Amino acid sequence: MSSKCVQCEKPFVNGDKKSKYKDLEYHQDCFRCSTCHQPIKDSFFNLGNDEYRCSDCQRKFEKLIYCIRCSKIIDDGSYIEYKGEPVHADCFRCHSCSQALGSMLYVEHNNQPYCVPCHMDQFAQSCAVCGRPFPPGTSTRKCENQYFHIECFRCFHCGKVILTRNYLINADQQRLCDMCS
């Protein structure tokens, strides 16, 4: 009893050329690349699920770069790397307002990119004196679980900016520099 081709399920007859892989037999014309659909004559790559790719298609496939946001091929060679992965410039957008971030400064929050204005509106700490949020990279001063712009952290008596740790908080909860305390 002759065996059958696993692709077309027709039996092999004398003189048929066979391709064999992992105890599976194919007519040579039935063993085809899943990408270009041409018969595989030489080396190939197993893609799983009984799908195979010829070495020519595999070489082309390996050179292709895919956008991690839209999964489409980046064919013009220009892309942004976000966390080491390629992204079309147009696909790299603010998680909140969807503004393209291609050439803009952005801030990451919970593993998502945000434009600076959205991040400031939604997540930035605010100064305890003036109420303005702190832009990314701004130096701040912390006192009793409150944050201050450097220029807002002042002595309540003389008005000078307190730059050192030498200050006192009086009974009225006012900051006094070392000269006024």
Q: What is the DSSP string of 88-156?
A: -TTT-B-TTT--B-TTS-EEEETTEEEEHHHHHHHT--B-TTT-PBPPTT--EEEETTEEEEGGG-B-T
Assigned domain for 25 exists: no
Assigned domain for 90 exists: yes
Residue 53: predicted pLDDT: 84
Residue 9: count of CB within 10 angstroms of its CB: 8
Assigned domain for 32 exists: no
Residue 144: predicted pLDDT: 83
**Domain containing residue 165:** 143-177
**139, amino acid identity:** S
Residue 1: predicted pLDDT: 46
Nearest C-alpha neighbor of 37 from the set 49, 20, 25, 52:
52
Assigned domain for 64 exists: no
Residue 2: predicted pLDDT: 59
pLDDT tens across the length of the chain (181 residues): 458 888 899 998 888 888 888 788 888 888 888 889 888 887 787 777 778 888 888 777 767 788 998 988 887 767 888 888 899 888 999 999 999 988 788 889 999 999 999 998 898 889 999 998 888 888 888 888 889 998 999 999 998 988 888 888 888 888 888 888 7
Quote the CA–CA distance of 17 and 81 in Å, as a whole number.
48
For every residue of 148-164, DSSP letters joined together read EEGGG-B-TTT--B--S
Assigned domain for 102 exists: yes
Assigned domain for 87 exists: yes
Can you say whether the dihedral through the CA atoms of 103, 109, 114, 115 is positive or negative?
negative
Count the domains in the chain.
Answer: 2
Which CATH number is 98's domain given?
2.10.110.10
Can you say whether the dihedral through the CA atoms of 141, 146, 147, 149 is positive or negative?
negative
Assigned domain for 158 exists: yes
Residue 110: count of CB within 10 angstroms of its CB: 7
Assigned domain for 131 exists: no
